[in-house]
Amino acid sequence: MTDLSNKPVDELTEPEADAELARLARAIAEADIAYHQNDAPEITDADYDAMRRRNDAIEEAFPHLVREDSPSLSVGAPPAEGFAKVRHAVPMLSLAKAYTDEDVVDFITRGRRFFERDKDLDIAFTAEPKIDGLSASLLYENGVFVRGATRGDGAVGEDITANLRTIKDIPEKLKGSGWPASIEIRGEVYMTYAEFQALKARSAASGGQDYVNPRNTAAGSLRQKDASVTASRNLKFFAYAWGATTEDPAPTQYDAVQKFAEWGFQVTPLMVRARSVDELIAQYRLIEEQRSSLGYDIDGVVYKVDQLELQRRWGFVTGEPRWAVAHKFPAEQASTVVKRIDIQVGRTGTLAPVARLEPVTVGGVVVENVTLHNEDYIKGFDSNGMPIREGVDIRIGDTVVIQRAGDVIPQIVRVVLEKRPSDAVPYEFPHECPVCGSPATREINEKTGKEDSRRRCTGELICPAQAVEGLRHFVSRGALDIEGLGAENIELFFSKGLVRTAADIFTLHERRPAVQQALAERREEQARLREAASGKTRKNVRSVEDRNFEGLDKLFKAIDDRREPELDRFIFALGIRHIGETTAAVLARTFSTMEELIRVGKETAGAEDPKAVFPSVDGIGGTVIEALTDFFGNERNDDVLDRLLEQVHPKPYIVNVSADSVVAGKTVVFTGSLEKMSRSEAKAMAERLGAKVAGSVSAQTDILVAGPGAGSKLKKAEELGVEVISEDAWFERVGK
């Protein structure tokens, strides 16, 4: 074959472009493996970049030729070691793509033409969402899950059985009957937005690592060596296909998937059987409409020939079934320019870069800022060191493509290198905190030996940014939850010197005139801005100020009401690194009083081997002990904490496991909406009474407390004969 590698992209014919894309996919994959797995790059970075750029340029010129294994779509090479390899008896295929309605018409026409001779044939198709996750193949022998593997390169994947076993949607044993003696169920592992956001929030609250999007996070979660980490990520699974099997699950695709549901799998509720292009496209539009409310990412609709007999007759081309196609959603993308990169400093001192963009409308929303996550992300790598955006860095002045796909959070998907200004320079991430000037460093994670992806200001309390964020955290909902003292007021009081540390909040009433003045000045300022914007003059200033006075009384009362917080909330409010709500509750339960926690904390901090001194407690590991040691060993915190404890008296955490608590030792689950208390309050109360609170219903559950709107948990409890009571009945029982 002639060497095409030097032929200019605009001179390539379609078959040549196709061949080039295949060559580049192979070469880039090889280079990735050499670089990431063998740590032995075989080509220079410049050659590598050139290959990626050529790949992108060809894909741009021939979008319909983009390959399933295109380097531009890759989420990074698989890990070097750790998981055993699994050869798929039936390869895990990719799908041909359709971008327009015409492409779909072509697909159907190709099918009809292929079966032309078969005059009475009634070809049916299925249409279902294309889930944006990771595919997995689950082997069931005699109805029992025995092995699960990733797709890998389609031919060989990795054995991630232990991790897949933690996914609730993957049954250990198939339900019902009639399943083949041996079958590989295939489908998609994915993460919901809710879970992704919760993980991000948990991680941010405890100063942990950063997560870029649900798909990469799901991929990372599946690659964990420690399955309990995977378990904590609450991944989900939809079954939609199968591999090697001793018999067909059903005669048609549609019925096979219905069988999967009978056997205990989750299947998409959005799958239909259709007989015409119009019906397929109608389902595509319907799914597209529902896309934003599904709660997880999908990136298109998959059409498949329904009858398995016809699937077999139509067959395969290299790596793809002829009988299926993925109709992709147009990405909601737009290009704009990075004007500036700002660094924001968070509560735990994390330096968070934000790109300020030339405003641009994407998917109906104006986007002006987009998070750049961290230093590595700007350079073009994710937190595992895998290339993202083809490994291209982001520079000030760059033209970038912004995407707001199913997820609402906009992100930069690509840098348009052709438009990079000739004088653009790589962004230099600051090594000093932009707010307080203290050194900003990247810590080494003790467990992995790897550098944390985030750079952190070491200024702690002398850093105003950390102090403000710490105060905002202190009054936030899961912490002391002081109504009326939102982020805006905290910033105002801090900037006016009225509140410096948490203790000052409780003496704020002593500075009433100054507080009043600060609030009034802000109102004035805001009114001035509004006037300037609207051109109207102001009336009725007095009434605004009157409201201000009332508001102040309320605020001081709200503060006063929080002088005796629950111990777990108080510990969480301190904002100690790695101590989220759950860990704070464990500490409260363990030490009962703040005095005891301080005593043990200090003793541990003073010890040579902290881990030997700190009592062994379930749920408290080395990272938390180290964080506690840092906190209690830091003299600057002593003074702050002493002053705070003069004002605030956390309630001792009393565990009443006495026999008179009728729920002591019982396992309780709360579901539905509770009306008298929040879920976390309900949990804390039950635990105080010696009950164990579980998240899901099982044979071990003793009581399900069900509020309005209870769904699957209620059903399950009824099936298992678990006692179900209302919220009122619960209060009666525990005598509150």
Site residues for ligand IVH per CB under 6 A: 68, 93-95, 128, 130-131, 135, 151, 188, 240-241, 302, 321, 324, 326
Q: Helix H segments across 1-69? A: 14-32, 45-61
Closest CB to ligand IVH belongs to which residue? 135
Residue 491 CA to residue 497 CA, distance in Å, equals 10
Rounded to whole angstroms, the Cα distance separating 577 from 626 reads 9
CB 148, min distance to ligand IVH, A:
14
Closer residue to ligand IVH in complex, CB, 16/248 = 248
Q: Answer for the pair 480, 644: CB distance below 8 angstroms, yes or no.
A: no
Taking the least distance from each CB to ligand IVH, the nearer of 95 and 722 is 95
Angle among Cα 615, 620, 624 to the nearest 5 degrees reads 105
Nearer to ligand IVH, 151 or 200 (CB): 151
Find the DSSP H helices in 614-710: 622-632, 635-647, 679-688
- In a 3-state reduction of DSSP, which class is residue 98? strand
- Taking the C-alpha atoms of residue 143 and residue 171, their distance in angstroms, rounded to an integer, is 10
Give 71's DSSP letter: G
- Cβ distance to ligand IVH smaller for residue 331 or 645: 331
If the CB atoms of residues 281 and 415 are measured against ligand IVH, the closer one turns out to be 281
The rounded distance, in Å, linking the Cα atoms of 98 and 105 is: 10
Q: Report the candidate in 225, 221, 191 with the shortest Cα–Cα distance to residue 209.
A: 221
| CB-nearer residue toward ligand IVH: 283 or 629 | 283
Nearest CA among 607, 650, 643, 604 for reference residue 627: 604
- List, in order, residues 6 or more apart from 490 with CB less than 8 Å away: 468, 471, 472, 475, 499
- Identity of the residue, 262 or 299, whose beta carbon is nearer to ligand IVH in the bound complex: 299
Catalytic residue among 97, 130, 200, 259: 130
Distance CA 621, CA 222 (A): 22
- Give the ranges where 374-447 is alpha helix by DSSP (H): 375-379
User: Token pair for residue 524?
Assistant: 């004035």
Q: Which residue has the tokens 């609170």?
A: 693
Active site (annotated) includes residue 130: yes
Separation between Cα atoms, residue 22 and residue 30, nearest integer Å: 12
Please report, as a single letter, which amino acid is at residue 674: L
Closest separation in Å from C-beta 386 to ligand IVH: 18
Q: Which residues of 471-486 are buried (b: 16+ CB within 10 A; e: fewer)?
A: bbbbbbebbbbbeebe
CB of 68 or CB of 159, closer to ligand IVH: 68
| CA angle, 63 then 66 then 72, to 5° | 110
Rounded least distance, CB 217 to ligand IVH, Å: 16
| Cβ at position 595, least distance to ligand IVH in Å | 55
Residue with tokens 């914007």: 533
Catalytic residues: 130
